[in-house]
Structure 1
Amino acid sequence: MVLVGCHVSIAGSIDLAVGRALDAGCDTFQIFSRNPRGWRAKDLESGPADAFRAAVDASGLGPVIDHMPYLPNPASPDAEIYEKSVAALAGELRRCALLGIPYLVTHLGHHRGAGMETGQERVIAAVNRAFADAGESDVMLLLENTAGEKNSVGTTVADLRRIMDGIDAKERVGICFDTCHAFAAGYDLRTPEGVDAVFAELDDRIDLSRLRVVHLNDCKGDLGSGLDRHEHIGLGSIGEEGFRHILHHSAVRSLPLICETPVDERRGDAGNIAKVRELAGA
């Protein structure tokens, strides 16, 4: 058995996400705790937060994962964007604590031409400041690998390790591994050897105990294309055989797997969850 789910909407009220996750057949699920397309976030009131926690407890689903909104860029050289990004990260850590969510996933952003080393230093400083501003909690921040698009920070396992090394509260940081992003960045996940190699590198450079969540997405682009375009499980360039190898790897079997796949006439969330279970059992 695998622990699989998808990203679900919080429309109407954040506690309604739990019912949507159940309807999709989730074991675990991911949300945005707020509007992901704006800077402003309405304060989270105790009523909806308590209702969310109660609904999660009653459902038996978990762990729940929160994802940072789209606009923050902790690698940005722009002072205004950077300050807003640090504030957004600290705010989201506080929201997770209120909601009882153990994991917050963040993209690492783009250095906008300032250079990889400068971008990584900006991310390190942003995370250290956000932890200090948010205060102590059990929420773990998960750094997500990127697809290798232009100016992106955190594409390789070595990049992730360098950023983690600079963060003061190392016990509060882990990894979210995105299969689409890894494939687009040049990690070949289509063969047993390729899958073994990437998880061996993660273990060697970071330690697999730091890997806490997998974003399970197929890729519309070719290997090493740098194209961050998700596809239905098994219908993209990684393919069904690749996902069989991923899903049978010991590093993955016990982790929460989140599908961030399309919803269209070919397949919806429930269909991708079913496909994951089929490939994991085959």
Structure 2
Amino acid sequence: MALRRRSSRLTILATALAVRVATAAATVSFASTSGMLSRSVSPLSSLSVSDPDDNPRPTKRARKAGDEGQKGEEGAKNMQTNRKKAMRTKKEIPEPKPEDFPARMTNRWKIGPHVSSAGGVENAIVNAARVGANAFAIFLKSQRKWDSKPLTDESIAKFKHRMKDFGYSPSHVLPHGSYLVNLGNPDSLKREKSYQCFLDDLKRCEQLGLELYNVHPGSTVGAATTEQSLALIAECINRAHKETESVVIVLENMVRLTVTQAGSGNVIGSRFSELGDIIEQVEDKTRVGVCLDTCECPSKRKMEGYDITTRDGWNATSTPATVLAEFDRDVGMSYLRGMHINDSKAELASKKDRHENIGLGHLGLRTFAHILSDPRTRDIPLILETPAYDVPSSGSAAARERLAAEGMGVWRTEVSVLNRLSGRLPISKENDERDGKSQDGVALKERELEDCRAEIADAVAKASKLRDAKGKKAGGVGGARKGKKRKTRKGTEEEEDELDDHDEGQDGDESCCGSAH
């Protein structure tokens, strides 16, 4: 009986096992709301025996390459994302408005610095407005490259719009030419290269609606006489007048260097008579003028018995031994179309063109007070080329914007001081005796000049703690003004002050001049 029961149980278990196997191998049907969805599942379909050689483990080098490839793809995606963000950020920068800037002083003497045009020529107008300038100078392209990208339609349109919006007159903007141009070079190929660079700048002026263009006359490079180079310069000007419509070419007076300096004796324009000879050979005299640089005027004048540091040395035209008397005789006052207002770091008659901040050099603040009280210097651009310290000339757009908003305190102070002094004759002891002024009046005027000088000195001291004269980060106080040694042609060493932001350096005879500016 027990055996039968055990046999019966085994039969039942075997039957159940067979049913399970059959069920697993059978088709399983699933019902859906729209009908019947069938699929077959094999109990062994998921079981497979794979050969280890079919999917070998990646090598370490392969895994590393794969990781780097993935990182490269992620980096490229991030770069594209950052570019898109930058483009969106650039588009979101609001157009500057005049009411966002300090009001400019209304003045017949148009004073302002040579401002940066980094990021586009249209930015020069904003930088000029930040310092309260009524005039300004710019580079229309890199001053140390022969070829530059053309101005974009967007930059041209923005420049014209901002000129009108901020109330700047084209006659009070004095673009500066390339330091490489030498229209007096007797080598025809090199002169043609200079001419094309020169002509490109003139056409840029016309694109922007500007009226003036300042250029260094040139150099004989020791291969021609002065008269030959003067004729070549005039020939280039006549040719340029025919290829342009309206721009006035403004020749700058220069410094003739000492024998230890590059290009000694070859620079054109150190004598007013040379500038007059060029103008004499220009056919359209309505489109040529002269720019006087205060740092270059006294370079030889003091040795001849006068200099611009005295009112009589600058002002009188009836006495032959004065700056303006010689200028009027050899050039003509009607050709004065602009000035560079710079103090001199070098001693007078040193034949060195080293710019210093206003009132802190060998010319002194009194010099600029009597120049800016002369009616003949009204309504022409009076351009500061003094050390800049905190000018936004490089870096990202955001960095330039931040530095422009926080910096340029030195130029802002210089412009403010010169505006306050313009039209007011400084009282001297000689004037006091002639005009019957009291000694108290002399002391008051002297104190006012000293206060103005101290104001500029404080601005320079504050700015130079953070940056050097070229706007780069300084290592510490006084580091920006440190001199350096250089070897002369005779092999001796002499101390030479660091060049300021507008210095040319000693580029040699192939450039327009060897002097620093």
Task: Please show how residues 208-247 of structure 1 align to structure 2 within 5 Å.
Answer: 208-247=333-372
Secondary structure at the aligned position of 2:387 is classed as coil
CA distance in 1 between partners of 2:368 and 2:220 (Å): 32
Is it true that 1:12 corresponds to 2:119 in the alignment?
yes
Task: Please show how residues 84-123 of structure 1 align to structure 2 within 5 Å.
Answer: 84-113=193-222, 114-123=224-233
Conserved 8 A contact 1:179-1:217: yes
CA distance in 2 between partners of 1:147 and 1:185 (Å): 8
Question: Which sits farther off after the overlay, 17-26 or 259-268?
Answer: 259-268
Equivalent of 1:198, from 323, 327, 343?
A: 323
Alpha-carbon distance, 1:232 to partner: 0.9
CA distance in 1 between partners of 2:180 and 2:151 (Å): 19
Question: Which sits farther off after the overlay, 24-33 or 244-253?
Answer: 244-253
Equivalent of 1:129, from 228, 234, 239?
A: 239
- Which has the higher relative contact order, 1 or 2, with Cα contacts under 8 A spaced 6 or more apart? 1
Runs of 4+ in 1 over 6 A off after TM superposition: none
Change (3 A) 1:175 1:56: same
Secondary structure at the aligned position of 1:56 is classed as helix
Could you list the per-position Cα deviations for residues 159-183 of structure 1 after superposition, in whole angstroms to 9, with x for gaps in the alignment? 1100100112211101111111112
Alpha-carbon distance, 1:267 to partner: 6.7
CA distance in 2 between partners of 1:225 and 1:118 (Å): 28
Indicate the RMSD between aligned Cα atoms, in angstroms: 1.9
Q: Which amino acid aligns with 1:172?
A: R
Q: Which amino acid aligns with 1:234?
A: G
Question: Which sits farther off after the overlay, 210-219 or 270-279?
Answer: 270-279
Change (3 A) 1:253 1:171: closer
Q: Which amino acid aligns with 2:411?
A: D
Partner of 1:189: 308
Is it true that 1:152 corresponds to 2:273 in the alignment?
no
**How high is the TM-score relative to the length of structure 2?**
0.52
Partner of 2:165: 58
Is it true that 1:170 corresponds to 2:285 in the alignment?
yes
Alpha-carbon distance, 1:281 to partner: 5.2
CA distance in 2 between partners of 1:130 and 1:231 (Å): 34
Alpha-carbon distance, 1:19 to partner: 0.6
Secondary structure at the aligned position of 2:283 is classed as coil
Secondary structure at the aligned position of 1:91 is classed as helix
Could you list the per-position Cα deviations for residues 130-161 of structure 1 after superposition, in whole angstroms to 9, with x for gaps in the alignment? 222x33x2211101100222211011211110
Question: Which sits farther off after the overlay, 89-98 or 111-120?
Answer: 111-120
Partner of 1:27: 134
CA distance in 2 between partners of 1:99 and 1:254 (Å): 20
Gaps of 5+ in 2: 1-106, 258-263, 316-321, 391-407, 425-517
Q: Which amino acid aligns with 2:355?
A: H
Conserved 8 A contact 1:232-1:267: no
CA distance in 1 between partners of 2:132 and 2:349 (Å): 33
Percent identity between the two aligned chains: 34
CA distance in 2 between partners of 1:161 and 1:281 (Å): 29
Alpha-carbon distance, 1:264 to partner: 3.3
Q: Which amino acid aligns with 1:190?
A: T
CA distance in 1 between partners of 2:345 and 2:159 (Å): 35
Secondary structure at the aligned position of 2:150 is classed as coil
Alpha-carbon distance, 1:275 to partner: 2.7
Secondary structure at the aligned position of 2:289 is classed as strand
Equivalent of 2:420, from 273, 278, 281?
A: 278
Structure possessing the higher radius of gyration over alpha carbons = 2
Secondary structure at the aligned position of 1:105 is classed as strand
Equivalent of 1:142, from 247, 250, 256?
A: 250
Could you list the per-position Cα deviations for residues 89-138 of structure 1 after superposition, in whole angstroms to 9, with x for gaps in the alignment? 11111110110111000001221113322221221122122222x33x22
CA distance in 1 between partners of 2:127 and 2:389 (Å): 17
Question: Which sits farther off after the overlay, 76-85 or 143-152?
Answer: 76-85
Gaps of 5+ in 1: none
CA distance in 2 between partners of 1:121 and 1:229 (Å): 29
Question: Which sits farther off after the overlay, 99-108 or 62-71?
Answer: 62-71
Q: Which amino acid aligns with 2:271?
A: T
Secondary structure at the aligned position of 1:38 is classed as coil
Q: Which amino acid aligns with 2:309?
A: R
**How high is the TM-score relative to the length of structure 1?**
0.93
Alpha-carbon distance, 1:234 to partner: 1.4
Change (3 A) 1:267 1:281: farther
Partner of 1:83: 192
Partner of 2:379: 254
Conserved 8 A contact 1:86-1:129: no
Partner of 1:179: 294
Could you list the per-position Cα deviations for residues 168-209 of structure 1 after superposition, in whole angstroms to 9, with x for gaps in the alignment? 221110111111111224261111111022223322333222
Change (3 A) 1:225 1:119: farther
